Amino acid sequence: MINIIMYIIPCNKYKINISELETYLFNTAEKLHFKTNEGIFEIFGDKIYKITEKNNCEKFVLENKKELFQFNLKKNNDVKKEIYYIPINYTFEKIKTKQYQLHKNSILTLNIENSNYFYFTTKENEITNSLREDMISFLSLLKLYN
């Protein structure tokens, strides 16, 4: 059985305040992200992966009294193949990801990379009322949603 993860990615970049999130932290991870002439590569743990992205996104809109939040919904069907080298001409970025959940066994995870970029992940295959409520809770904690 293949576990599909849906990524819920904001269409716009937002300045976020993470000061109220620490009590919800449940995991941290680091990876190196490489851009090369041959594609995108990642080092995660002690393994090297070549990433082949597939661009198939749906849109989702969350309304606030003041603002519309637009998200791309991307099902994780990218191809991630383990390899044993990285091409020599590259640029790279070290990415530290902190993952937050509102409660144990939550169906929604907030991922914050390098304290300035966020997206959500879930194992659900559609946006439910429960997911919507959890997203609003996180956006409120990030001081984006009133």
Considering the domain boundaries, does residue 146 fall inside one?
no
Q: How many independent structural domains does the chain possess?
A: 1
Considering the domain boundaries, does residue 1 fall inside one?
no
Check whether 67 has a pLDDT greater than 70.
Answer: yes
pLDDT score recorded for residue 111:
97
Check whether 2 has a pLDDT greater than 60.
Answer: no
pLDDT score recorded for residue 1:
46
Q: CB-based contacts of 42: which residues, under 8 Å, 6+ apart?
A: 31, 32, 33, 34, 48, 49, 51, 80
pLDDT score recorded for residue 106:
95
Would you state the structure tokens that stand for residue 57, as one six-digit string?
């996104």
Q: Is 132 in a helix, a strand, or coil? A: helix
Query: How far apart, in Å, are the Cα atoms of 138 and each of 3, 56, 87, 121, 135?
Result: 24, 25, 39, 12, 5
User: Per-residue pLDDT averaged across 128-144, rounded?
Assistant: 95
Q: Is 72 in a helix, a strand, or coil? A: strand
Element (H, E) at 136: helix 129-141
Whole-angstrom Cα distance, residue 118 to residue 109?
A: 10
Considering the domain boundaries, does residue 123 fall inside one?
yes
pLDDT score recorded for residue 88:
87
Check whether 51 has a pLDDT greater than 50.
Answer: yes
CATH number at residue 121: 2.40.320
Q: What is the largest CA-CA distance in the chain?
A: 50
pLDDT band at 64 (very low <50, low <70, confident <90, very high): confident
- Expressed as residue numbers, the domain containing 53 is 6-141
Considering the domain boundaries, does residue 96 fall inside one?
yes
Considering the domain boundaries, does residue 127 fall inside one?
yes
